[in-house]
Structure formats: structure tokens, C-alpha cells
Amino acid sequence: MRAILAEQFGPVDGLSLAEIDDPSPGKGDVVVQVGAAGVNFPDGLMVQGLYQVKPPLPFVPGMEAAGTVTAVGERVTHLKAGDRIMALCGTGAFAEQLAVSAARCVPLPDGVSFSDACALGVGYSTSHHALKQRADLKEGETLVVLGAAGLTGLAAIQIGKLMGARVIAVASTDDKRALALQNGADEAIGYDNLKDDLKALTGGKGVDVAFDPVGGDAFDVLSRAMAWNGRLLVIGFASGRIPELPINLTLVKGYSLVGVFWGTFTAKEPDVYADNMRELFGWYAAGKIKPVVSTREGLSSVTSALAEVLGRRATGKIVIVPEETR
């Protein structure tokens, strides 16, 4: 089968499209014909050796896929050949086929496309967990979303509105701010005057919940813009700089800094994660959330897709569809 191969840690342009052996299912595994694979910021970090987890070399990157089960291993009882699933695999998704633990697979309801499933997988699920379990977002609170035109940002806007929040989106260009407004944001602002804009939009009260996948200078502003009893959610560091927090700010302003590590959450709290996915699928079926899938490309486009995501140029979800390079 064809797959994207990382033979050493380094820039994403070092990836190659290679022919490798078809996978076979081990005990507890299933083999999946990949219908779509999502492109995520951590995929690019993993290829460079900069992610929290370093897989053994060589490896096939790609942490989420959706497709059809073609074979099942011993001890697998809840899935069978022909089932449509979403798989959270860590690695292996950028390929025509994937062997993955059945425990990491979620059956897809009718009507959920493979591309939309990938958006709901890491992106929407991260934002949902962040706002529901980590922030305990309340109706009427003010939610500020950095990186608002990326998939997790757009998801946070849509889910925040569903939960009754007033949403202020922060994005770097007019087009990105327009996209945030189209997806439900109440206001959309840029980064240049972030401190003054947040003060004006909150009437000096400050931000109840901040969703920050960016870090860097924007985090520095947020750390001084939080309201009493606020929650500053640390999602990631797309800016490239991991900021340092003057801890006295949390004392005098009375807010909490809350880490959001979605991958560990799914492993440590699988029942809660399963409940979250059921809620997301229900919202999707009811038309209450709508993933923005901006681009569908073939396997040969993985390198350029990762570069777009790492460069913070992507909007919405980029999906790899292996059949499109046939």
C-alpha cells in the first residue's frame, strides 16, 4: 500500500510517499481502509521530533482517520468488517490502510461523512473537552477564542455559542475574522490592539474564559486580561513560543490557569470522552455544529498541508483523501 513515511525527525519536506506492506490486525486491532485522514498541528510537531511523544522511526504520521473496517483481530467483539469508524490512532493515518486498536475506534452514525468525522475527531473534541470539562463554561460568560479561524478555534466558537457564551474571536486577517463571524462569533478582533480591544469589549471586567492555542505574546496579554474567577485554557503554542506566567497575576486577579491535553484525557477518561463524542454527533445530526472542511487533498499533498497548518495559514480542516492520488 502507499503511505507517507517519516524516516528521520526533521522538516516536513523530508517526508516521502512510499510503498510499504499492507497491515494485518494484531490481537485487539482492526484494519481500516482509510477514507479520510485529518491534518493536525501536532502531526507536524511529531514529524519534527518536537511533540510530547516521539514514535520509533520510521513511522507513518497522522493521528486521526475515518474509514471502513476491512479485518478484525482476535478479541475484537464490538466491530466487524464493513463498519464505518473514526480512529484516533496517534500515528499511521496518512496511508491507504491502517491497523489500530479497536479501543481507539468510534463507530460513525449514519450521515457523518469521513471528512467531517476527522474534523469532529481531534479538533471539535478538543474544543468540546476544553470548554465543557476544563472551563465549565457557563451561559452568559464571555469567551475569547484565539486562533479563531483554525479548526479548534472555529469549533470553540460554535460550541461556545451552543453553551450560551458571548464569543469574542481573535484572528490575524480580515478574511479570518469574517470566517469567525460567519461561524457565530459575536465580535471578531485582531492581535495588534488586543489588550485595549479586550478591555473595551468587556467593559473593563475582563475575560471569563480564554481559549488559547497560540501562546506567545497573545498569552501575555490574556494573562493580564482575565476576570475574577476566570479560566485561561492552555491549548497549545502555535506561535512557536511557550510563554512564562508571572504567577502573581493569578493571585491578585483570582483566575485559574487550566491545561488542556486532549490525548491524555481520552486515555484516562474514556467514558467521559465517549459521552462527549455522542453529544458532538448529536449536535452534528441536529445541524447545531457544522465542521468547516476547507481542503481535501491526496496523499501526495501531505507535506504542503502540514506546512500550511504549521505556518498558521490554514483555515478550517484540511483532510487527506488517499483515493484522490490514484
Q: What are 267-313's pLDDT values in tens digits?
A: 899 889 989 999 999 999 999 999 988 888 899 999 999 999 898 88
Looking at the fold, whether 226 and 161 belong to one and the same domain comes out as yes
Query: What residue numbers bound the domain in which 6 lies?
Result: 2-108+292-325
Looking at the chain, the whole-number percentage of residues with pLDDT higher than 90 is: 83
Tell me which residue of 225, 227, 200, 209 sits closest to 142, measured CA to CA: 209
Looking at the fold, whether 91 and 49 belong to one and the same domain comes out as yes
User: For 119-189, where are the alpha helices, taking DSSP H only?
Assistant: 125-129, 151-162, 174-182
- Name the band, by pLDDT with cuts 50, 70 and 90, for residue 263: confident
Q: What is the mean pLDDT of residues 1-19?
A: 96
Q: Which residues contact 101 (CB under 8 A, 6 or more apart)?
A: 28, 29
Looking at the fold, whether 65 and 135 belong to one and the same domain comes out as no
User: Which CATH number is 88's domain given?
Assistant: 3.90.180.10
Does the pLDDT value for residue 326 go beyond 50? no
Rounded to the nearest 10 degrees, the angle between the axes of helix 151-162 and helix 174-182 is: 40
Residue given cell 453553551 in the structure block? 163
Does the pLDDT value for residue 316 go beyond 90? no
Does the pLDDT value for residue 325 go beyond 60? no
Domain for residue 100, yes or no? yes
Tell me which residue of 86, 78, 151, 80 sits closest to 112, measured CA to CA: 86
Q: What pTM does this model have?
A: 0.88
Looking at the fold, whether 251 and 141 belong to one and the same domain comes out as yes
Q: What is the pLDDT of residues 120-137, one digit of tens each?
A: 988 999 999 999 999 999
CA 246 to chain centre: 28
* Number of domains forming the structure of the chain: 2
Q: What is the mean pLDDT of residues 77-100?
A: 94
Q: What is the pLDDT of residues 297-307, one digit of tens each?
A: 899 999 999 99
User: Which CATH number is 128's domain given?
Assistant: 3.40.50.720
State the DSSP code for 61: -
Looking at the fold, whether 126 and 104 belong to one and the same domain comes out as no
Q: What is the mean pLDDT of residues 237-251?
A: 92
Looking at the fold, whether 223 and 252 belong to one and the same domain comes out as yes
Q: What is the pLDDT of residues 102-126, one digit of tens each?
A: 988 989 998 899 999 998 988 999 9
Contact 320, 309 (CB under 8 A): no
Looking at the fold, whether 301 and 237 belong to one and the same domain comes out as no
Domain boundary among 218, 243, 263: 263
Contact 143, 165 (CB under 8 A): yes
Domain boundary among 263, 281, 308: 263
Domain for residue 75, yes or no? yes
Res 324: pLDDT: 57
Contact 29, 73 (CB under 8 A): yes
Average pLDDT, rounded, for the chain: 94
Contact 169, 218 (CB under 8 A): no
Looking at the fold, whether 66 and 193 belong to one and the same domain comes out as no
Looking at the fold, whether 151 and 228 belong to one and the same domain comes out as yes
Domain for residue 268, yes or no? no
Res 307: pLDDT: 94
Q: What is the mean pLDDT of residues 27-56?
A: 93
Looking at the fold, whether 136 and 223 belong to one and the same domain comes out as yes
Domain for residue 143, yes or no? yes
- Name the band, by pLDDT with cuts 50, 70 and 90, for residue 240: confident
Phi/psi for 84 (5° steps) reads -90, 130
Cα 117 from Cα 169, distance rounded (Å): 24
Q: What is the mean pLDDT of residues 4-30?
A: 95
Looking at the fold, whether 130 and 248 belong to one and the same domain comes out as yes
Q: What is the pLDDT of residues 158-209, one digit of tens each?
A: 999 999 999 999 999 999 999 999 999 999 999 999 999 999 999 999 999 9
Q: Are strands 105-107 and 97-101 parallel, antiparallel or unpaired?
A: unpaired
